[in-house]
Structure 1
Amino acid sequence: MRILVLALDGLFDTGLAVTLDAMDVANHIAERAMGGQPRFDVSLVGVRKKVRSGQGFTVPVEAIDPGLTPDWIVLPAPKPGTPEQLIRQLGRPDVLDARAQLLRWHAQGVKIAASCMGTFLLAEAGLLDRCEATTTWSLAPLFRQRYPQVALDESRMLVPTDIGITAGAAMGHLDLALWLIGRASPELASMVSRYLLADLRARQAPYIIPNHLAMADPLIQRFERWARDNLKGGFSLQEAASALATSSRTLQRRCEAILGKSPLGYFQDLRVERARSLIHGSNMDVDAIAAEVGYEDGATLRTLLRKRLGRGVRELRADLR
């Protein structure tokens, strides 16, 4: 499999490193442990002669060969930053040149993979229009507002599409690399994951911090504070809207636009977060924790935790051992 990794100034050092290291480990295992040949021909390329990482290290890139048509392009993310910093980065001349190059590769039928904030560049080029995608959960509100034509689901870690694949936040680069290795050989991907002590994760949802998402909008911030003060009670959209001096329709619309979910869905996220905190930090039994977050019994809470986190109370408590 011929892979070009497209490096841009200010990229996330760890994202680049884990991508290259995973591919190198895969080739080593394929050749030494499985008795075959290296499966991946990986080159680091750039739209500029000199590229520096987010930590200031020089990245040794090759010029892009216009006559070469690779199987995959991998786009590491920029160094994590604020929404304002990311928007500025998207307008840089080298990023605009990279966007044009991605469109040329796409026209040639090359598959494109991006992780974390790198998914913004694909969306900016229009490559994710009318497609499902994921991105770093922390910037999902910005992504959703900037690219409403993309079907975003930031709860997922990996989302394959016709153009390639998008992956979630930060260490999603490793999940993406393992997925690409699995395209060549599921057995090889399994062995690489065991060597690196890393498993493919289906979801980002367990890592999302709800109050971080609320900071994207003043009304959602106020709703988040109200919700935390009212977790023990039953949820009422009309009551919440009245307390925030807005209409139920406005609150519903803002939650959908910013968070991609209903006010009740976000209220449930806060219940899950609080319940997980109590599971980790107290000796309360499940029924008592359920009462703290507004449920009559522990069975309902167990169902919610399993649905949202993919894990039950025993697994969550085992994290502390």
Structure 2
Amino acid sequence: MALDETRMLVPTDAGVTAGSAMGHLDLALWLIRQASPELATLVSRYLLADLRSSQAAYIIPSHLAGADPLIARFERWSRGRLHQGFSLREAADALATSPRSLQRKCQAVLGKSPLRYFQDLRVERAQSLIRSGELGLDAIAEEVGYVDGATLRTLLRQRLGRGVRELRADLR
């Protein structure tokens, strides 16, 4: 079997493997989900974990962001402005740094551009709102700064490989 770095859980006929430090949570929720999707949803809420197939894409950048003062400030600034458009110049000005310095620091600490990290935060927030089931897709799109639900739907499919229906189905 070949290594697949994009997946946290790999079920095979011989068993299931889970990778990384938080893989045990993904594995436990996967095992519970096999018996009862409803129970897995309940357990994930108590654990404050969600049912995405890999938590690493969110846990690792969040941990890294907190480890660097500039990136931590950038994350706070970004989370407060997810509903607005992103401007590297505005972000840099708000953080009292240059756009180039912010760009280099994000790349060095997070391995991605400031825009990509901002978009990741939007996707993370959109997933949370979708799971809550309280808002329609257009309202969620507006909440995270997209013009309409179609734009958000396309982004979720590109980033997560899953659509809104599949994300909501995880809750059932």
Q: Please tell me the residue identity of whatever aligns with 1:289.
A: I
**Alignment match, 2:63:** 212
TM-score, L = length of structure 1 = 0.38
Extract unaligned runs of 5+ from structure 1: 1-112, 114-132, 135-155, 159-166, 174-196, 198-202
Q: How much does 1:300 deviate? A: 0.8
Q: Secondary structure of 2:67's match? A: coil
Q: Please tell me the residue identity of whatever aligns with 1:293.
A: V
Deviations 1:164-185 (A, max 9, x none): xxx8414759xxxxxxxxxxxx
Cα pair 1:251 1:263 within 8 Å, conserved: yes
**Alignment match, 2:128:** 277
CA 1:269/1:306 → structure 2, altered by over 3 Å: closer, same or farther?
Answer: same
CA 1:171/1:242 → structure 2, altered by over 3 Å: closer, same or farther?
Answer: closer
Cα pair 1:231 1:271 within 8 Å, conserved: yes
User: C-alpha separation between the residues in 1 aligned to 2:57 and 2:168?
Assistant: 16
Extract unaligned runs of 5+ from structure 2: 9-17, 25-33, 35-52
Give the ranges of 4+ consecutive aligned residues of structure 1 lying more than 6 Å apart after TM superposition: none
User: C-alpha separation between the residues in 1 aligned to 2:98 and 2:57?
Assistant: 31
Which entry has the higher C-alpha Rg, 1 or 2? 1
**Alignment match, 1:314:** 165
User: C-alpha separation between the residues in 1 aligned to 2:70 and 2:144?
Assistant: 22
Q: Secondary structure of 1:215's match? A: helix
How many residues end up aligned between the 2 structures? Answer: 135
User: C-alpha separation between the residues in 2 aligned to 1:277 and 1:171?
Assistant: 19
Q: Does 1:295 align with 2:171?
A: no
Relative contact order higher in (CA < 8 Å, ≥ 6 apart): 2
User: C-alpha separation between the residues in 1 aligned to 2:56 and 2:77?
Assistant: 23
Q: How much does 1:211 deviate? A: 3.0
Q: Please tell me the residue identity of whatever aligns with 1:214.
A: A
CA 1:263/1:207 → structure 2, altered by over 3 Å: closer, same or farther?
Answer: closer
- Identity of counterpart residues, as a percentage? 69
- Structure that is richer in strand per residue: 1
| Alignment map for 1:43-192 (pairs within 5 Å) | 156-157=6-7, 168-170=19-21
